Amino acid sequence: MSKNAAQWSAPPAFPTTHFVDSRVYTDDAIFEEEKEKLFRPSWIIACHESEIEAAFDYRLFNHPAGVPLIVIRGDDSKVRAFYNICPHRGNTILYDPAGNAKRMTCIFHQWSFDSRGNCIDISREEQGYQKRFCKADAGMREVKCEVAFGGFVWVNITDDCMSLREFIGGALDILEPYMVEPMEVFHFHKAHLRTNFKLWHDTNSEFYHDFLHYFNRITGMLQPGYFERRYTPFSNGHATVGSMQIQYDKYDGSKERAIGWPKMARGGWYMVDIFPGMTYNLRTSVLRIDTAIPLGPNEVVIEFRGLGLKRDTKEERDQRIFDHNMIWGPFGRNLHEDLLAVHGQGRAMRDGTDSRWVLQGREENSTIHDEVGMRHYYAEWSKRMGRPAYDPCREGKTEPVRAAA
Amino acid sequence: MQPEQRHAIEELVYRSCLALDAQEYTAFLALCTPDFRYAITTYSPELRREQVWLDHDRAGMQTLFTNLPRHNSDHSPLTRHATVYTVDLSGDAEANVVSALQVFRTQLDGGATELFAVGHFHDMVRLGGDAPKLARRAVRLDTRQLGYGYHVPF
């Protein structure tokens, strides 16, 4: 039966934990608050250690809270992160997305900085500043930075944040046995979408949308073990999905993976969603990492990385690249479908469309089509934001504003 | 090189674009040799390394084309615009052809057209027989951000 306006606007007949008001995806004020309350205090993956292997190698990263960062390996091999903002006149210090810089020199007035963030040169320092200001006063702003959990470079721009270990808790324990060997990024690309970052994370947090993917239906959903895959929630909004044996040979043109991953069962597939917008996705022969960088309530850039083992032979690496491209490459079978779906959500939820609710009501004992992953995320979201996701614009209240029809 | 030979090679490149634009995959493969190989590559300044985004032999392309209709895809048509820049003979039997490539996407609703990607075709064309055929096509992409993307190769 179709609905009239009142019925369409009425809260769904679920517990308030089982749906979300779609304004959490579109409201400008909520988005600004998310940058402060979700992204600023969180540890975020900026890049992987293999992207900055040598001393003075650097990588730029646009932090989801809006801060431009430089991640650089120092002369002492330590990886540090700094604002990519010159303390002099606020200019961008480094422009290329990656490179090697023994000195980081701002092109504007030639102030230079070393890989530890010290200012090492101020043009005509004494003539202009006499003894009132010197290089020691002009250091770069350093932010917290750690290399961990598979060699990823994590940054946190809040000085008094919780530790990375405390932030992750046990969420990545399921992947620890598979991240012992050094890895290497072989694939990177970005997708820029007119949609909300949480909609991408939602997609990574539920497998009910396997109906979207012909590949996943054929190789997974129709195969034994699929419906036993189980979600496990962790503190701070993270969640994991257990493995099964994917039947890759059921898809035309595909075959059982020629290479796998050390210690992982044949055809295995684990996922870990890290709050507020990152995902580890280890699928048999390739680890994929998603990092969502929101630009607005309805605009996001997603960084995609594909990783293999650093010790790969050429043949092994070629095979991992082939496997990656088949489902997750920009011309692959699955990624495009996911992106198309969240693009469609962004289109349907933009301001003025009268989109009202997003349902998260499936309960299947926390197995693969249960929407507990999303519910767990929005419980954390509500806690951190101080707003219930089911009614985010009614501060301090616990019940929905909107009356049932 | 005789003008007729150059003209035939250019026409091969242009016909390959028309076939893919029309999603006439059988017609596209008819322009290719039995040992045809297709690849999409790009350079990542972020990783400072080369990347391969697609790499198939003729059988792999055939399978890809068979699978495409089974997947959900953006239905907005693409228009490939190629301009043949250089044709260099390699002996009597082959020619290396470099073409500029621009790909446009036209929205179904309203028909707005946007530039979708730029790059180059690096083709190896086999000469002889009734008509030149594509033996290798390496699509070298400059554009690396494709939004919600596309299933169909360029």
Nearest alpha carbon to residue A37 among A227, A276, A228, A303: A276
Mean pLDDT score across all residues of chain A: 95
Q: Is A336 within 8 Å of B70 when comparing Cβ atoms?
A: no
Q: Delimit the domains of chain A by residue range.
A: 45-160, 181-385
> What tens digit of pLDDT does each residue of A9-36 get?
999 999 999 999 999 999 999 999 999 9
User: Average of pLDDT values for A331-359?
Assistant: 94
From chain B, the residues in CB contact with A321 under 8 A are 52, 55
Task: Provide the pLDDT for residue A405.
Answer: 33
* B-chain residue closest to A185, CA distance: B47
Nearest alpha carbon to residue A187 among A57, A332, A84: A332
Residue B14 Cα distances to B7, B81, B140, angstroms: 11, 8, 17
User: Average of pLDDT values for B52-79?
Assistant: 95
* Integer Cα distance of B99 and B101 in angstroms: 6
> What tens digit of pLDDT does each residue of B15-48 get?
999 999 999 999 999 999 999 999 999 999 999 9
A181-385 under CATH 3.90.380.10, yes or no: yes
Q: DSSP character for A195? A: S
> What tens digit of pLDDT does each residue of A36-66 get?
999 999 999 999 999 999 999 999 999 999 9
- Are A45-160 and A181-385 in the same CATH fold? no
DSSP A49-68: GGGG-STTEEEEEE-TTS-E
Rounded to a whole number, what is the distance in Å from the CA of B88 to chain A's nearest CA?
A: 30
* A-chain residue closest to B55, CA distance: A322
Judged by DSSP in three states, B153 sits in coil
> What tens digit of pLDDT does each residue of B87-138 get?
999 998 999 999 999 999 999 999 999 999 999 999 999 998 889 999 999 9
How many Cβ contacts (< 8 angstroms) between chains A and B? 99
Q: How many CB atoms lie under 10 A from the CB of residue B59? A: 11
Q: Which fold has domain A45-160?
A: Rieske Iron-sulfur Protein (2.102.10)
Rounded to a whole number, what is the distance in Å from the CA of A207 to chain B's nearest CA?
A: 16
Tokens of A283: 């699928």
pTM, 2 dp: 0.96
Of A96, A99, A343, the CB nearest to B148: A343
User: Average of pLDDT values for B72-100?
Assistant: 96
Q: Which domains, ranges and CATH numbers included, belong to chain B? A: 3-141 (3.10.450.50)
Q: Is B51 within 8 Å of A98 when comparing Cβ atoms?
A: no
* B-chain residue closest to A323, CA distance: B54
Q: Is B145 within 8 Å of A190 when comparing Cβ atoms?
A: yes
Extended beta strands in A19-141, E state: 19-21, 44-48, 57-62, 68-73, 79-83, 98-100, 104-105, 112-113, 119-121
Rounded to a whole number, what is the distance in Å from the CA of A301 to chain B's nearest CA?
A: 9
Q: Is B47 within 8 Å of A188 when comparing Cβ atoms?
A: yes
* Integer Cα distance of B139 and B143 in angstroms: 11
